[in-house]
Structure 1
Amino acid sequence: MFETIQGHQTITKHLANEIDSQQVSHAYLFSGIDGIGKKKTAREFAKALLCQDRESPGCGHCSVCLQIEHENYPDVKIIGPKAGVDSIKISQVREMISELAIKPYSGDWRINIIDGAEKMTPEAQNSLLKSLEEPLSYNIFILVTSHPQSILPTIRSRCQSYHFQPLSMVEMEAAFFEQGEFEKQAVTEAVRAAGGSPGMALYLLNNGEIQKERTHYLRELYSLLKGDEIKIFTLAEVLSKDKATSQEMLEFFIHWFYEVNLLLEGHPLPQQGEPNPAHRAYHQLLENEKNQAIIKTLFEMMATIQYNVNLRLQWEKCFIKIMKIQKG
């Protein structure tokens, strides 16, 4: 089981042991950066629990495994934000809860996966809490999230938590080279920019303009740090198109300044990466204390945009604060 999961051997070994020892928990929290394999692991866990082949659970070939893979098996329910909506509404959680009392269709478990669990509204989270406090014996909840801090502590405390660490460049390159679908140089550049996320690396490989766009934003942000106040407003305008764009770029900026922080403290970059010219430029421009203050500001911005706010105004405030930090 779990043979198709790239990396995360410690987590998959723990999950396999729980299945073998019949000590499966009623609730799990899978956390880690986007595109790292959390939802895939949740699906593979469901296959291993419900597979028809008990000699090789999670076989991937039986009718149950195939239905789970295509998200149409009756005992595995997956919910997330609906198309064009930024949050998971209380109505979606209530619908899921209304089905919990129905006994499993064929196996021993009813598995409920909440993808993007941090996007549940406060009302939705409170609605879920009672089901976690008083679970029926055959129900399993798996909350998949890139921002566990946005989930109520009372929910987190009732889940068995697994944090998915970024994969190394070596692991990701090996997987992409084995597929043979992309040129070696393109793979190396995408893997280097993906921060340990195979999903992000694949996204960059299939969308070459994204990497060019990110390089452009780093140049603009560098100009802002050098004192170009106009960049406050031009950057705020283009980054405030929608909440998804804002969140994606915030995650990228946080990861970027984290790498700069490693260089400032004399540490190597993660995944055995080599500093590029942009790294060196930021390294020369920033001081460690100021860089850490910028990271804190970006995390504050991330928390703020979880609510219904004026994105452009929040970006402007964020960039003004970053410029003040740099000016000292």
Structure 2
Amino acid sequence: MFEKIVGHETITHHLEKEIVGDEMSHAYLFSGMDGIGKKKTAKEFAKALLCSDNEEKPCGHCPACIQIDHENHPDVKVIGAKTGETSIKISQVREMISDLSVKPYSGNWRIVIIDEAERMTPEAQNSLLKSLEEPLSYNIFILITSHPQSILPTIRSRCQSYHFQPLNSRKIKEILHRDTEFDSQLIDNAVLSSGGSPGMAYYLLENSEIREERVHYLREIYSLLRGNEIKVFSLAETLSKDKTTSQGTLEFLIHWFYQVGLLLDGHPLPDNAKPDQALVAFYKLLENEKNEAIIKTLFEMMATIQYNVNLRLQWEKCFIKIMRIQKG
């Protein structure tokens, strides 16, 4: 039923059981890093519920499946922050709720997919909460987020939650070799820097400047770890452009130091990948205990920037702490 979804077998197995047993929840929370397959899974779930084929669901070629793929099915609404906006406003949620009061046009279900649900303003989330507390029998909500802690606890408690784990390198390579024409070396390099996200790997393949930027960040951090204090402030200034840039960089760095930790522990990289020169350089520079403390610091930074903070100041504090960890 979810053949198009690579990985996440536990999640898709549970969703399939719910569909077969007609035991769907009225609300779902799909969480996990960006580009990992949450939205694709949500669409495949919607297609499985509304597909008109009697033999295979979702078939992928009936009018319902095609409309869902193109986001123009009358009973499936995908909402997110409007172009040029940074948040999902209460007006969007109210409009969506108004539409949900009408029964489905062509199927048994009306499905709302809220992409980047963490972008909902507090007012928008509270407006949504009222619909979750008293759901109409034919409505299904799917909230997609990379930061579930930004969703109100009262909303999370009313959702069936599924957390999407990073994919291993083999599965990401399978996706990229199937869907792109890049050569194997470029794919290998992108996968190594993807943090387990197929979407990020594809983004890196399509944007060579981002790949070069990440290599630059690693060189700067390596220099910082060797005691170059000037890098604290130059890096902080570069990375404080916006919250999205900071989040993406943090996810990359956490994954990077995780891989360093594998080498320090004497474990192979995922799928026995060969470490490149940069990983070997960090491995030779760091000790296991210090590497773990750096990862913890990066996770703390990730939690901090969920709030309205001065990004440059927080990056400076983060890098100063990392330097102190390395100095011992």
- Please say whether Structure 1 and Structure 2 have the same fold, judged by a TM-score greater than 0.5: yes
Confirm whether residue 191 of structure 1 aligns to residue 188 of structure 2.
no
Where does residue 146 of structure 1 map in the other structure?
146
**How many angstroms does 1:234 deviate by?**
0.7
Q: Secondary structure at the match of 2:306?
A: coil
Residue 182 (structure 2) aligns with: 182
2:67 is matched with which residue?
67
C-alpha distance in 2, partners of 1:73/1:215? 42
8 Å contact kept, 1:48–1:57: yes
1:106 aligns to what SS in structure 2?
coil
Task: Note the residue ranges of structure 2 that are not aligned, 5 or more in a row.
Answer: none
Superposed, 1:74-89 pairs within 5 Å as 74-89=74-89
Change (3 A) 1:291 1:140: same
Please tell me whether the aligned partners of residues 261 and 292 of structure 1 are also in contact (alpha carbons under 8 angstroms): yes
Native 8 Å contact 2:195 2:251 kept in 1: no
Listed one character per residue, the Cα deviations across residues 62-115 of structure 1 (whole Å, up to 9, x for unaligned) are 211111111111211111222233332333222222322221111111111111
**What residue in structure 2 maps to residue 173 of structure 1?**
173
Partner of 2:265: 265
- What residue identity is the alignment partner of 1:261? G
Long gaps (5+) in structure 1: none
For the aligned residue pairs, the C-alpha RMSD in angstroms reads 1.9
Change (3 A) 1:286 1:152: farther
CA distance in 1, matches of 2:284, 2:227: 15
Between 298-307 and 66-75, report the one with greater CA deviation: 298-307
Is 1:134 aligned to residue 126 of structure 2? no
Amino acid at match of 1:75: D
> Residue deviations 1:273-297, cap 9 Å, x none?
2322222222222233332222222
The 10-residue stretch of structure 1 (222-231 or 179-188) with the greater mean CA deviation from structure 2:
179-188
Partner of 2:291: 291
Amino acid at match of 1:191: V
Question: Are 1:166 and 1:197, in contact at CA under 8 Å, matched by a contact in 2?
Answer: yes
Structure 1, residues 269-326: CA drift from partner, whole Å, max 9, x if none? 2343232222222222223333222222222222222233322222222212222222
Give the equivalent residue in structure 2 for 1:279. 279
Give the structure 2 partner of residue 40 of structure 1: 40
Q: Is the partner of 2:100 in helix, strand or coil? A: coil
**2-side partners of 1:99 and 1:61: how far apart?**
27
How far off its partner does 1:180 sit? 6.0
Match in the other structure for 1:212: 212
Question: Equivalents in 1 of 2:267, 2:47: separation in Å?
Answer: 41
Aligned to 1:317: 317
With over 3 angstroms needed to count, the CA separation of the structure-2 counterparts of 1:131 and 1:91, relative to structure 1, is: same
Q: Is the 8 A contact 2:167 2:197 kept in 1?
A: yes
Distance 1:179 1:124, change over 3 A: closer
Q: Percent identity?
A: 73
